[in-house]
Amino acid sequence: MKKLATCRKIKGSRIILHLCLLVSSVIMVMPFIWLVFTSFKEKADIISVTPTLLPRLWTLSNYIKLPEVAPFLRFFFNSFFISLISTLFVIIGCPMAGYIFAKYKFRGQTFLFLLIMATILVPLQTYMIPLYLIMKSFGWINTYQGMIFPLIIMSSGIFFLRQNILTIPDELIDACRMDGCSEFGVFWRIIFPLSFAATAAIAIVNWVFTWSQVFIWYLVMANSEKLFTMELGLMYFQRHYVTDYGGIMAACVITVLPILIFFLIFRRRIIEGVSLTGMKY
Amino acid sequence: MARKKHSYLRRWLGRRGSIKRSQILFILTIFVPLISLFMIIRIIPIGATLGTAFTNMHLIRPVTKFVGMKNFIRLLEDKQFISAFFNSIEYVVVAVPLEIGLGLLFALMLSRKIKFEALYETLYFIPYILPMVPAAIVWKWFYSPGSFGLANYLLESVGLDRVPWMSNPRIALLATIGIHVWKNLGYFMIIFLVALKNVPAEMREASKVDGATIWQTIRHIELPLIKPVILYGMVMATVWSWSAFTEVYIMTQGTDISTGAEIQVLIYRVFQEAFVYHSMGKGCAISFVVFLISLVIILVQFKIFRWGEK
């Protein structure tokens, strides 16, 4: 009898728990849900004094006119290209640096490693002025290479891969060396394949990071429409079509969509990777 | 000759011959370029920020001179900087406890072996992964004045007064901090959830057998065990809210319903000074302040946690 009562009590508290979670998670995604439905509304419907969640009349007009006013396909390509190049560098660079920090012992190594760890805590926006001046001295203002250059090394990725490569047994590496492998051979045959899961996690995190978290750097570097990333394109659009709420909302949806799809595909890995690296440099 | 030089390098780098020749080659071809890149894009800019803070560097002025503390003295008289400074302090004071507190709360709820855990996790995490600009634009539209701002509409429909979200600077700043908290909450929830899952189940069961209530288990078993993660979370939350920019930038400009510049924060000032007025020296001086204060806050957090252990 008593057992039944506790059972019921537990069930009751479970329901309350679920209710709390459900309400709060709906609040978390509500802005996006509202955004999506609003982008299908007509103008009069959007500024109506009694807003409804669902459009009274579904329309695609907000989307159809988008390509005429701003080249969102181009913006998408720019974002894609920047993330791609940065991620390729990270895929090669992080395991190599991780290998050296994990398996080599030489003077200054610990110091360098601590230096890299310390920079994880320093956000890019605090040192962007000298970075901008360096890019200027290279003549790289308003170019792709200028936008990508600061993003090709991922400190937290090096840290994460070093921890991962430490678990690879030394005997394996020594055996490979005995068989006449050069250090590149060791890296290519042993280190890279065995740490590939970790590298993939880092690469995915880096992709999301460069896509959606370094807005300020792109804002500083890109002046011409040709180089705008999706977020900059959205800003540009928003400035020029001030009261066209339907158009702005549709543009927001277009901006959110690629990375949302990416997230839903790699959900597990992104959550794992982000919780390990923090997705900041 | 060349070979001899090589061996000097080897002796300098490695103690007791721990470095082989092939490894030297690998270090020279891979590691040295990598570290030089790292120096160019991280260490040199960070160092240069601290150095440039003491010069009068200006993009239009051809000659740069060392001016000592002048930039900092000017900052003390700069009303814009002072207000930005206190706005940033408010950012940290409001955002960090909210992010840590709510993150912990959700993580504790989710760690109770609940159904649909993955679904909730995903929903909480979505704001963190998505770009800030569209998110801030949507929020700004929610906050818009008059009747078509959704926030006011909802308040009115439950019988409350309208709130001047955008026109009152104090409220506008809190609304902006709200966007920041909403955006980053998912991250803290996830790191706490991962930590809570690593707490051994036997410890929870043991305390249950001993007759502890849920609150006692949380208070005396789980929270002390994930304390390092909470400290890490606090440091991260502090750094991010102290260097917030995008949401403030979107809130202050763009559409017709912008807030005034009263809600600006430190990084926003850096951006304005350096990339609107081209006054690099002053911008770096503000960055210097950002570095210094965040270092102090982080040290204080470490001290508080150490002190709590005793």
Tens of pLDDT along B134-151?
999 889 888 887 666 778
pLDDT of residue A150: 92
Shared domain for B47 and B75, answered yes or no, is no
pLDDT of residue A6: 59
Domains of chain A listed by start with CATH number: 2-63 (no CATH), 66-277 (1.10.3720.10)
Is residue B60 included in any domain, yes or no?
A: no
Pick the residue with more confidence: B161 or B108? B108
Chain A residues in contact with B42 by the CB 8 A cut-off are 119, 122, 127, 153, 155, 281
Rank A107-111, A140-144, B168-172, B214-218 by mean pLDDT and report only the highest.
A140-144
Shared domain for B42 and B126, answered yes or no, is no
Q: How far apart, in Å, are the Cα atoms of A139 and each of A148, A182, A280, B77? A: 14, 38, 27, 36
Q: Above pLDDT 70, what percent of chain A? A: 94
Is residue B63 included in any domain, yes or no?
A: no
Q: Pick from A6, A29, A18, A4: which is nearest to B113 by CA?
A: A18
Average the pLDDT over each of A32-46, A149-163, A220-234, B255-269 and give the range with the smallest value: B255-269
Of A50, A231, A238, the CB nearest to B254: A238
As a whole number, the mean pLDDT across chain A is 86
How far apart are the C-alpha atoms of B247 and B139, rounded to whole Å?
Answer: 9
Number of domains forming the structure of chain B: 2
Q: How far apart, in Å, are the Cα atoms of A256 and each of A42, A135, B157? A: 21, 29, 30
How far apart are the C-alpha atoms of A39 and A23, rounded to whole Å?
Answer: 24
Q: How far apart, in Å, are the Cα atoms of A158 and each of A98, A99, A101, A106, B228? A: 5, 9, 9, 17, 22
Counts of helices then strands in chain A (DSSP H, E): 17, 0
pLDDT of residue A8: 62
pLDDT of residue A144: 93
Of B49, B153, B275, the CB nearest to A127: B49
As a whole number, the mean pLDDT across chain B is 85
A263: three-class secondary structure by DSSP: helix
Listed in sequence order, the residues at least 6 apart from A97 whose beta carbon sits closer than 8 Å to its beta carbon are: A158, A161, A162, B31, B34
Average the pLDDT over each of A60-64, A100-104, B7-11, B154-158 and give the range with the smallest value: B7-11
Question: Which position has the token pair 């012992």?
Answer: A105
B108 interface with A at CB cutoff 8 Å: no
Which chain B residue is nearest to residue A210, measuring alpha carbons? B131
Q: Which of B8, B133, B197, B235 to mutate to test the interface with A (most CBs of A within 10 A)?
A: B133
Shared domain for B91 and B142, answered yes or no, is yes
Chain A residues in contact with B13 by the CB 8 A cut-off are 106-108
Shared domain for B42 and B113, answered yes or no, is no
Torsion angle (degrees, nearest 10) of CA B143, B149, B151, B156:
140
CB contact under 8 A, A129 and B52: yes
- pLDDT tens string A176-213: 888 888 888 889 988 999 999 889 989 988 998 899 88
Average the pLDDT over each of A244-248, B76-80, B253-257 and give the range with the smallest value: B253-257
Shared domain for B279 and B141, answered yes or no, is yes
Of A100, A155, A238, the CB nearest to B255: A238
Chain B residues in contact with A44 by the CB 8 A cut-off are none
- pLDDT tens string A71-94: 889 999 999 999 999 999 999 999
Of B26, B121, B131, the CB nearest to A183: B26
Q: Which of B60, B110, B129, B196 to mutate to test the interface with A (most CBs of A within 10 A)?
A: B129
Torsion angle (degrees, nearest 10) of CA A218, A219, A223, A228:
60
B23 interface with A at CB cutoff 8 Å: yes
Shared domain for B134 and B262, answered yes or no, is yes
How far apart are the C-alpha atoms of B138 and B130, rounded to whole Å?
Answer: 13
Torsion angle (degrees, nearest 10) of CA A38, B121, B127, A274:
-150
Shared domain for B161 and B27, answered yes or no, is no
The beta-carbon contacts of B147-156 under 8 Å, at least 24 apart in sequence, are B147/A49, B148/A46, B148/A47, B148/A48, B148/A49, B148/A51, B150/A34, B150/A51, B153/A50, B153/A51
pLDDT of A21 strictly over 50: yes
Shared domain for B253 and B115, answered yes or no, is yes
Pick the residue with more confidence: B247 or B161? B247
pLDDT of residue B2: 46
Is residue B304 included in any domain, yes or no?
A: yes
pLDDT of residue A1: 46
CB contact under 8 A, A106 and B13: yes
pLDDT of residue A41: 85
Q: Which pair of structure tokens corresponds to residue B28?
A: 């020279």
pLDDT of residue B42: 92
Listed in sequence order, the residues at least 6 apart from A244 whose beta carbon sits closer than 8 Å to its beta carbon are: A43
CB contact under 8 A, B41 and A216: no
Listed in sequence order, the residues at least 6 apart from A142 whose beta carbon sits closer than 8 Å to its beta carbon are: A221, A222, A223, A224, A227
Average pLDDT of span B199-203: 83
Shared domain for B82 and B159, answered yes or no, is yes
Of A112, A129, A150, the CB nearest to B283: A129
A11: three-class secondary structure by DSSP: helix
B72 interface with A at CB cutoff 8 Å: no
Of A14, A129, A182, the CB nearest to B274: A129
Q: Which pair of structure tokens corresponds to residue B120?
A: 């909730």
pLDDT of A3 strictly over 60: no
Q: Pick from A235, A241, A231, A249: which is nearest to A40 by CA?
A: A249
How far apart are the C-alpha atoms of B80 and B86, rounded to whole Å?
Answer: 10
pLDDT of B59 strictly over 50: yes
Average pLDDT of span B52-58: 88
Buried b or exposed e, range A164-189, using 16+ CB within 10 angstroms:
bbeebeeeebeebbeeebebeebbee
ipTM: 0.88
Q: How far apart, in Å, are the Cα atoms of A115 and each of A86, A237, B24, B232? A: 21, 41, 22, 18
Q: What is the CATH number of the domain that holds B88?
A: 1.10.3720.10
> How close B155 comes to chain A (CA, Å)?
13
pLDDT of A5 strictly over 60: no
Torsion angle (degrees, nearest 10) of CA A57, A247, A266, A153:
-170
CB contact under 8 A, B128 and A274: yes
Q: At what angle do helices B117-129 and A245-265 cross, to 10 degrees?
A: 130
Question: Which position has the token pair 């006054």?
Answer: B279
Average pLDDT of span B188-198: 89
Is residue B232 included in any domain, yes or no?
A: yes
Backbone phi, psi, residue B55, to 5°: -120, 170
Q: Which pair of structure tokens corresponds to residue A212?
A: 């959606």
How far apart are the C-alpha atoms of A144 and B151, rounded to whole Å?
Answer: 40
Of B14, B40, B182, the CB nearest to A134: B40
CB pairs under 8 A between A and B: 253
Q: Above pLDDT 70, what percent of chain B? A: 90
pLDDT of residue B72: 92
Chain A residues in contact with B245 by the CB 8 A cut-off are 125, 215-216
CB contact under 8 A, B138 and A34: yes
CB contact under 8 A, A263 and B185: no
Q: Pick from B73, B286, B6, B257: which is nearest to B150 by CA?
A: B257
Shared domain for B77 and B201, answered yes or no, is yes
Is residue B146 included in any domain, yes or no?
A: yes
Other beta carbons within 10 angstroms of residue A64's beta carbon come to 10
Which chain B residue is nearest to residue A265, measuring alpha carbons? B122
* Domain extent for B45: 2-52
Of B22, B239, B249, the CB nearest to A121: B239
Shared domain for B119 and B236, answered yes or no, is yes
Is residue B61 included in any domain, yes or no?
A: no
Shared domain for B37 and B105, answered yes or no, is no
Which chain B residue is nearest to residue A260, measuring alpha carbons? B130
Listed by number, the residues of chain B in 210-269 with a beta carbon closer than 8 Å to a beta carbon of chain A are 235-236, 239-240, 243, 245-246, 249-250, 254-256, 267
Q: Pick from A217, A210, A109: which is nearest to A157 by CA?
A: A210
Average the pLDDT over each of A241-250, B94-103, B233-242, B261-270 and give the range with the smallest value: A241-250
pLDDT of B130 strictly over 80: yes
CB contact under 8 A, B13 and A107: yes
Measured over the CA atoms of residue A42, residue A43, residue A49 and residue A51, the dihedral's sign is positive
pLDDT of A221 strictly over 70: yes
How far apart are the C-alpha atoms of B255 and B246, rounded to whole Å?
Answer: 15
B308 interface with A at CB cutoff 8 Å: no
